[in-house]
Structure 1
Amino acid sequence: MNGVAYFQRMARYNAWANQHVLDACAGLGAGDLDAPRAAFFPSIMKTLNHILVADRLWLGRLIGAPERLALDTVLHAGLGEFRAAREAQDAKIIAFTERLDTDTLATDLSYQSMLAGAYTLPREVILAHMFNHQTHHRGQLHSMLIEAGVKPLAIDLVYYCLEVDA
């Protein structure tokens, strides 16, 4: 599998995993979604919003339309509104990877960090980071969901591949 096909798969997996997390969240009330939790972004809703903010920042940089958002911005306080925004963002990420080509993937991208200075990295590293960042915080969400009484989720990449993308 070449790099472009890999990132296309990761975009589809990412949307699939996000749907599973949101389905699990749908069984919780606002009190559980907003309850203080032991995580970097200290609630389920704050963590969901952080992932969305980061995706908007990274994709904006990749498409040449950078956004300026604080990493702890709560874009959507309610789960229904959040879900619509998450699904729209996942569709944008998938569309971006569908337009991606090997030559573009091999180029560097310069960007301004939200917390530090300016950096230049290969686009493939930035794209890999975007997906890895989501996985990192989905792991935190998974733990918070279990703490809230949700059954553990089977959202590893291998489960996606076995179910959808074999």
Structure 2
Amino acid sequence: MSMSQTVRHVRTMARYNAWANTRLYDAVVALPPGEAVRERPSFFGSIVKTLNHVLVGDRIWFSRIAGTDAGVSRLDEVLYADPQALYGAREDFDAHIIRTVDGWDDARLAGTFRYANMAGETFEQPLHPVLTHVFNHQAHHRGQVHQMLSESGAEPPSIDLIYFLRDPASVLEAG
């Protein structure tokens, strides 16, 4: 059975995000002790706080889509202060994202879902564009972490989508 471009795109983006997160987190946990939590002039204040924000955002959006409670109360909530523990949680959630989107077909991706934002306002939106937002949100904040890695003296990894797409194993894995 042939897979639609929409389904292929969503599955590819889920795998790309996991790939980019792994490369970025490998660089973060290799930093000297204290560097990942050091306060920096950035929106969330540190590498670990920024990476926590991305995980919080992903949990919120996938909980909204599933109609469940994300278990977080603030966008700047620090779920894991330790970089290695945060890495493990990230890997687990990236696997969850991949399993989830692999179960969706065109009808699900074309459908809408209702949710309440953190202020209690309710919305109904199409799923596919919201997923695009989720993937874009990750890329946006990975760029901030990439910059903070540069400022720490570390060599930030290449995490551009094109490098992922050039890896035949990655593209085949997405379907």
Query: What range is the shorter-chain TM-score in?
Result: over 0.9
Give the structure 2 partner of residue 45 of structure 1.
Answer: 48
Gaps of 5+ in 1: none
Within 5 Å, give how 1:62-101 maps onto structure 2: 62-69=65-72, 70-101=74-105
Match of 1:54, SS? helix
C-alpha offsets along residues 14-60 of structure 1, whole Å, 9 cap, x if unaligned? 00000000110121134211111222111000001000011100111
Between the aligned residues of both structures, percent identity stands at: 42
How much is the aligned-residue C-alpha RMSD, in angstroms?
1.4
Q: Residue 29 of structure 1 corresponds to which residue in structure 2? A: 32
Give the letter for the 2:49 counterpart: K
Residues of 1 paired with 2:157 and 2:119: CA distance?
32
> Any gaps of 5 or more consecutive residues in structure 2?
none
Tell me the TM-score normalised to structure 2 length: 0.90
Q: Which residue of 117, 123, 128 corresponds with 1:119?
A: 123
Superposition misfits of 4+ residues, deviation over 4 angstroms: none
Equivalent position amino acid for 1:81 in 2: A
Are the aligned partners of 2:67 and 2:115 in contact in 1 as well (CA < 8 Å)? no
2: distance between equivalents of 1:67 and 1:150?
33
Q: 1:136 & 1:23 partners in 2: Cα distance?
A: 18
- Deviation per CA, 1:95-148: give whole Å up to 9, x if none: 011001110111111111124622221101111111010001001010011001
Measure the CA separation in 1 of the matches of 2:71 and 2:85.
21
